[in-house]
Chain A
C-alpha cells in the first residue's frame, strides 16, 4: 500500500475546487444579472393606447347588477381597430427607418447592445401585433385583413400631411403682423420722401446720408428686406 499524504493531496483538489467554484459563481451571477437587466429593459414604444381601447371595447365587462355586458356596436369596434392599425403603421415606419441605422451604429460601437436588444424585441412585438390586427380584422368582416393596412397607411399619411399644413397655417398670424408693420414703415418712408421732395425740389437728398438715428433705421430696413426677398427667391429656385 502506498502511504498517502492526504493533507498534501487535498491542497491541489482544494485549489481546483476553489477555481471551478468561483468560475461557476461568477457565471451564474453574471447570467442572472444579465437576464434581470434584459427583463427590465424599457420597452421601445410607449403603451399602445389604441390597442388598449380596442381590447377594452371588445371585452366589455358587464357593469354591476347587470347580467349582460352592453353591446358595443360593430362600427365602433371597426373604427377602434382602424385606429389601432394607424398607430401600428406609425410604429412600423419608425422601426423600418431605424433598423439600418441601429445596426450600423451598433457595429461601429456608437450605441449600446441593450438598445439593439430592445429594438429587436420591439420588432418582434410589432410582427405579432400586425398578425393580431389582421386576424381581428378578418374576424370583424370578411377579407378586411388584406386591406386594413392600406387604409391605415393612407390615414397615417394624411394625418402627417395635415399636421404639417396646420403648422404652416399657424404662422400666418405672426407673418401677417410683420408684413403689416413692414408696409407701414415703407409707406411712412415714401411719404417722408415725397414731403422732403416737396420742400426742397432741387436738392435730391439721399436719405441714407441723413444723420439722425431714426432715419438710419428707416433706411436700413428696406435694404434688409430687399436682401431678404432676394434670398427667398433664391431659396425657392
Chain B
C-alpha cells in the first residue's frame, strides 16, 4: 500500500476537520470542563458524530456500519486530537467495536445499533494497577449457573461511569502473568454487585474505579472464547493503541501549530522570536519528530488493515513514537510560549494535559519500547 491517503480518505479528513473545527473546537472542550460535566463529554456531540457516520466507521457493513479500517478511524482521531474534542470515540467506536467484531451475532446485534446511533457508550475495564499490564490481570471469573461470577477491581476506565456496558477482562483459568486463561465479558452497567467511583483526570476526562463484587453474568455475555480472550484483547488493545497514537498525532500537531504561530507573532528584543536560530532549530527538530510519528502511525494502521504479521510490532513502535513526539510538542509548546503558556486561559496547557492522558492510555512509551525490544528478539 502506498503511504499516502487516497481520494476517499482525503474527503473523510476534510469533513472530519471541518466538523471538529466547527462543532467541537477547544472552546467546546472548555465549556464542558468549566461546567464540571459529570461525563466529561457532550451526548449531543456524540449523536452528531453518529449523524456524520463516524461512530460506525469500524463496524462491518453487514452490521450496518461503514466497514472501514484503522486508517479511517485514525483520520477522525487526529482531528479529535487537534481540537481536543471530548468524546467516547476512542473507547467505544474503536476499542470496543474491535472486540465486539469478534463476538457472536446476538452480541453484535445488541450493541452495534446503539453505537451507530450515537446513543451507546462502552467502557474498557482492563487496568488493575497504575500501569498497563494486561497479562497480569487477576480479576477472577468463576463458573456459576450458566455463566460466571466476576470478582475483582478495575481502574482507569475512561468514561466508565457514563457507559452502558463495560468490557471486562477476567481470568477464567491460569495465573496472573499468563496470557492463556483470560476471558472478555460484556457487563451491563446496572449489574448487581458492580459499583463505580468516577474521578476526574488531569485532562478533564472522567475515569472510573470499578468494583466487581460477585457480579453474575450469563454465558451470552462472553466475547470470543472462554480462556481464549487474549486474542480478542490483543486486537482491542492494538486498535486502541494505534488509535491513541493517531489522536496524539493530532494533539501534537495542534500544539505545534499553535506554537509556530506564536513564534511568528511574539516580539521581544524588537524582533519576532521566530527569527532566533535557537528556536528555529528546535522547531525544525520538533517538526521532524512529528512527521516521523505521523509516518509510523500510518504504517501501523495500514498493517493492521492488511492483517500483516508485523502489525503488532509497528503498533507498539507507533504508540511509543507518537508518545515521544507529542510529548515533545507540548513541552516545547509551553516553554516557547513563555509565561503565557503557564496560564489556564491559553490553550497550549490543555494540550499538555491531554498528551499526558493519551500517553498513559493502553501502555506508555516505555511499555511499548520494551515490547518492541522483545518482539525484535532481545
**Are A and B subunits of one complex?**
no
Interface set of A (CB-CB < 8 Å, partner B): none
